A = this chain, B = another copy of it.
Amino acid sequence: MALLVQKFGGTSVGTTERIEAVAERVARCRAEGHDVVVVVSAMSGETNRLIGLAHDIMEEPVPREMDVLVSTGEQVTIALLSMALHKRGCDARSYTGSQVRILTDSSHTKARIKEIDEHRMRDDLDAGRVVVVAGFQGIDEAGNITTLGRGGSDTTAVALAAALKADECQIYTDVNGVYTTDPRVVDSARRLERITFEEMLEMASLGSKVLQIRAVEFAGKYNVPLRVLSSFEEGEGTLITFEDENAMEQPVVSGIAFNRDEAKLTISGVPDTPGSALRILKPVSDANIEVDMIVQNVGEDNKTAFTFTVHRNDFKRAQEVLRGTSAEIGAGEVGGDTKIAKVSIVGVGMRSHAGVATRMFEALSNEGINIQMISTSEIKISVVIDEKYLELAVRALHSAFELESAGTQEQS
């Protein structure tokens, strides 16, 4: 008899047939005696259709009206899902963000939740009803409709779970959990039963697009147990949990994340004087280009090389900015490479285990893979390598850290 918040994304509610399947699952859960609050996204394709209409009219639509427009997408889904629940004899009631009252700030198209009034939901749950809430949307103090930005439905679900002190927030997606790495790259990739919030954050930010990073942060902050499950098959999914719960059993490395979206830029012959890094990076960030990894080596002859990565879409612009900077500060050539990949090992266990980096580098060296850049954090080591070795590197690391079988790493 738990209180569960269940979130179903656009693909899970993409057709009326799929909405019926979601209703089936929710009704079963209710019949088992659980209290259920369901959060849904717009039917897949609907948000893009609405944005298309807006762009027919103007290139940069007024944000306030954009929110009025796109928030209809989830409103359609909550109505249809509530009908499908009624059809199954399961009493249900739909709520828009405004009706719940999910109070946000007034930053249209990227609002942040400030407060949730849970009393109407609580009344419905007490009356035995399933509560169906439109994800992604809220209302500001002045009564204007706001949206949380793309993927905001995950955030809505976590925020509702926090407000209601739910036992679990379940995010239903098209994958059945979080994997040690991408199963399309490594056959023996294994679903994790648990992963910590910190690891999940690193995995998510590194390109494992299972959950919105904001939702994970939010869940961590408010201690909401989060579970990722599949809408299309049965299974326990992956529970995202708190580190201390099972500290003794933490594996050294939980997963291998990777990312092919980055490009590398190098400026050489940089005068090795204080302020060089600033003079190079400020024009880049002024151009609204986000920088990921940064490496600077000790130089020779008072010259040094400075390397960083950006999103591939920003590569050309970053290169232009950098050429200007090079001329200004009297540095040398600006080199670049878009054919790189970043591979990371992630795991809270590496905090207390020495030699993890060595083991990683050894595995790559054994395969003859050259490491171009290295960057580390407490629970992550990332390397940049030639893109063509990506799959090979991921497989080698997956095997080196024995991720294919659960529970063996503790021995290492």
Interface residues in chain A, defined as those with a beta carbon under 8 Å from any beta carbon in chain B: 16, 19-20, 50, 53-54, 56-58, 61-62, 64-66, 68-69, 71-72, 75-76, 78-80, 82-84, 86-87, 93-94, 96, 98-99, 120, 143-145
Q: Which 4 A-B pairs have the closest CB atoms?
A: A69-B79, A72-B72, A16-B56, A68-B79
Q: Note all chain B residues with C-beta closer than 8 A to A69.
A: 75-76, 79-80
Q: Which residue of B lies closest to A100 (CB)?
A: B143
User: B75 touching A68 by the CB < 8 A rule?
Assistant: yes
Q: List 16 A-B contacts (CB under 8 A).
A: A16-B56, A19-B57, A54-B80, A57-B83, A61-B83, A62-B83, A64-B82, A64-B94, A66-B79, A68-B96, A69-B76, A69-B80, A72-B75, A96-B145, A99-B143, A99-B145
Q: For the complex, what is the distance from the CA of A99 to the CA of B65, rounded to whole Å?
A: 13
Q: Note all chain B residues with C-beta closer than 8 A to A61.
A: 83
Q: Which residue of B lies closest to A43 (CB)?
A: B53
User: A62 touching B50 by the CB < 8 A rule?
Assistant: no
Q: Which residue of B lies closest to A56 (CB)?
A: B16
A93's partner among B56, B64, B78, B98 (CB-CB below 8 A) is: B64
Q: Note all chain B residues with C-beta closer than 8 A to A84.
A: 57-58
Q: For the complex, what is the distance from the CA of A12 to the CA of B62, rounded to whole Å?
A: 22
A93 smallest CB distance to B (angstroms): 7
User: A72 touching B68 by the CB < 8 A rule?
Assistant: no
Q: For the complex, what is the distance from the CA of A143 to the CA of B99, rounded to whole Å?
A: 7
User: A83 touching B98 by the CB < 8 A rule?
Assistant: no
A30 smallest CB distance to B (angstroms): 16
User: B65 touching A53 by the CB < 8 A rule?
Assistant: no
Kindly name the residue among A16, A79, A120 whose own CB sees the greatest number of chain B CB atoms within 10 A: A79
A304 smallest CB distance to B (angstroms): 51
Contact A65 to B87, CB < 8 A, known contacts A16-B56, A50-B76, A76-B50: no
Q: A16-B56, A58-B86 are in contact. List 10 more A-B contacts (CB 8 A).
A: A53-B76, A54-B79, A57-B83, A58-B83, A65-B78, A69-B75, A96-B145, A99-B143, A99-B144, A120-B143
